[in-house]
């Protein structure tokens, strides 16, 4: 028979993880104390290589993207003298195009050297009138081109629309933005069913969402609400150098995700603008509960 101490220092089992996040955390801490344990702290090399998150665009984000694409430049300097920095780039732009300090902001960037954000699209158009998009001034040979959001982006196709029943989310957080955040690692929520707003049944609700891989949607989701800082609205993120005076706490809910329908749009035509296809009928798969 194992002693209580021996039982708590064994590797974490799947059953323990599915039962309670508190139990999982305690078991993880116990494993970390063992020689060769894999708990915290761990070297960065043991962290996951990558993860994903799906965020819904918005009117504000679209406006911000269009503003940047109409007023920003990618800038690089060929064979710059030692010690050249963004202030030197700002100076040559100001002198070359008779700009004020408030007319532009220069930042270090990667993989390009600099980004220059001009105050308006008219100023950007003025700069773009430069022959071959290059000039020499004060010993710097400056080259530039328009900034585009998609320069370092990849195409994303969410071929599958799925229907989910969400169970275990407390009624006081039944808000569309909460549901969006909760599922954003695997899904983009398309719409919530009518029962979400009427709340005639508060144990569960249904929704439709888009995803690139239905099989990666988890069955159980541990949703944690971290306590807000004292005197700060819960929706604000603080930018401060203050050191914390205590650990961060919160409450965790066990949310069940029941996937019951998958619609496959992988054979649908890719439309470049224009009206959608009204009679498009994807292949649909109803799953057993």
Question: How confident is the model over 10-62, as pLDDT tens digits?
Answer: 444 444 444 565 565 555 455 444 544 445 667 878 888 888 898 888 899 99
Average pLDDT over residues 158-171: 94
Whether 6 shows a pLDDT value over 50: the answer reads no
- Non-local (6+) Cβ contacts of 159 within 8 A are 212, 264, 265, 266
**pLDDT tens-digit readout, 211-242:** 999 999 999 999 999 887 666 655 566 666 67
Per-residue pLDDT, 78: 94
Whether 272 shows a pLDDT value over 90: the answer reads no
CA angle 155–156–162, rounded 5-degree value: 165
State how beta strands 188-192 and 220-226 pair: unpaired
Per-residue pLDDT, 105: 96
3-class secondary-structure state, position 189 = strand
Per-residue pLDDT, 194: 78
Q: What are phi and psi of 53, to 5 degrees?
A: -155, 135
State how beta strands 250-264 and 134-137 pair: unpaired
- How does residue 8 score in pLDDT terms, banded at 50, 70 and 90? very low
Higher-confidence residue of 229 and 191: namely 191
Per-residue pLDDT, 276: 57
Average pLDDT over residues 131-140: 94
Question: What is the Cα–Cα distance from 131 to 127, expressed in whole angstroms?
Answer: 10
Per-residue pLDDT, 14: 45
Question: What is the Cα–Cα distance from 188 to 257, expressed in whole angstroms?
Answer: 14
Average pLDDT over residues 63-73: 96
Q: Does pTM surpass 0.85?
A: no
Q: Among candidates 116, 106, 135, 133, which has minimal Cα distance to 71?
A: 116
């Amino acid at each position: 028979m194992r002693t209580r101490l021996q039982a708590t220092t064994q590797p974490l089992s799947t059953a323990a993880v599915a039962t309670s996040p508190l139990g999982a955390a305690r078991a993880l801490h116990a494993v970390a104390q063992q020689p060769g344990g894999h708990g915290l702290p761990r070297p960065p090399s043991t962290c996951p290589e990558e993860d994903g998150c799906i965020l819904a665009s918005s009117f504000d984000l679209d406006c911000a993207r269009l503003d940047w694409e109409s007023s920003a430049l990618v800038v690089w300097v060929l064979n710059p003298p030692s010690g050249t920095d963004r202030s030197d780039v700002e100076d040559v732009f100001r002198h070359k195009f008779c700009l004020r300090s408030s007319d532009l902001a220069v930042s270090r960037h990667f993989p390009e050297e600099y980004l220059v954000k001009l105050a308006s699209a008219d100023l950007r158009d003025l700069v773009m009138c430069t022959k071959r998009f290059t000039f020499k001034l004060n010993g710097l040979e400056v080259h530039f081109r328009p900034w585009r959001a998609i320069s370092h982006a990849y195409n994303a196709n969410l071929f599958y629309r799925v229907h989910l029943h969400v169970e275990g989310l407390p009624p006081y957080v039944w808000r569309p933005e909460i549901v969006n955040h909760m599922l954003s690692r695997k899904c983009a929520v398309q719409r919530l069913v009518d029962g979400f707003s009427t709340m005639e049944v508060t144990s569960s609700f249904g929704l439709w969402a888009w995803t690139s891989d239905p099989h990666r949607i988890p069955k159980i989701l541990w949703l944690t609400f971290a306590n807000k800082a004292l005197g700060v609205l819960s929706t604000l993120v603080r930018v401060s150098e203050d050191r914390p005076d205590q650990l961060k706490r919160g409450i965790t809910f066990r949310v069940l995700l029941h996937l019951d329908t998958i619609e496959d749009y992988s054979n649908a035509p890719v439309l470049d603008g224009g009206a959608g296809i009204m009679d498009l009928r994807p292949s649909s798969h109803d799953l057993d509960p």
